[in-house]
Amino acid sequence: KFRAMPLALLVSFFTGTPFLSARRRKVRKRKKELAQLIKDVTPEIIIWDHIRSTSYFILNPCFNILLEHNDEVSIYKEKVNQYSPLYKLLLRLQVGLLQEMERKMQQKMQRVVFLTEADRQNAFVSNAIFLSYPVTHFEVVNDKPVMKKDTIKLLFVGRLDWYPNGQGIKWFIQEVLPLLPAAFELMIVGRNPNKELLN
């Protein structure tokens, strides 16, 4: 992706905004549309779904909530070693820009909500909270085993060209799927899977 968008990288460093923000096309148009939508709908609350959505943030009279998940900075740091020395340097600079964007955006919000304890380590503001939500645990109980004739379908939906999704489903296929009975069937829905995942 980085090799494919040199202009976006140039814009990123010129404007001091991270790649994930600078690479978005028609940002000004989208912001204008969003401003009109807020004016027409007059919502009381706007929920911004993690830092990427704040590329379109505009000042507004609403109560703004940022849901922080998919720790983007850590993802960028992980990706550094996947590139040549030049791109490693560019990616390290991107990490700094992204951290600054996170800090600024969190300060513009009336509330920042972190979905995991790990994500909460990236809090730059005092109004941040941790949302503890129940996690559903799945297990096959001994007194009701899965019958061979039964099929239990698992569905994964997510952009497969987005690094955490691709890595996550790859891990699931390699580490979890072999442990499940043959009755389990995994279906994957998502755009742009790489050759490894297709195989």
Question: Please, which residues bridge with residue 128 across strands?
Answer: 112
d(CA 136, CA 102): 30
pLDDT digits (tens, 9 = 90+) for 9-42: 677 777 777 766 665 667 788 889 999 999 999 9
The predicted model gives 167-194 an average pLDDT of: 87
pTM: 0.64
- Residue 130 tokens, joined: 């941790």
Decide if pLDDT at 133 tops 60. no
What pLDDT is stored for residue 185 in this prediction?
86
Decide if pLDDT at 82 tops 70. yes
Phi then psi dihedrals of residue 90, to 5 deg: -60, -40
Decide if pLDDT at 135 tops 80. no
Measure CA of the first residue to CA of the last residue in the chain; give whole Å.
21
The predicted model gives 76-101 an average pLDDT of: 81
Kindly give the pairing relationship between strand 111-114 and strand 63-68. Answer: parallel
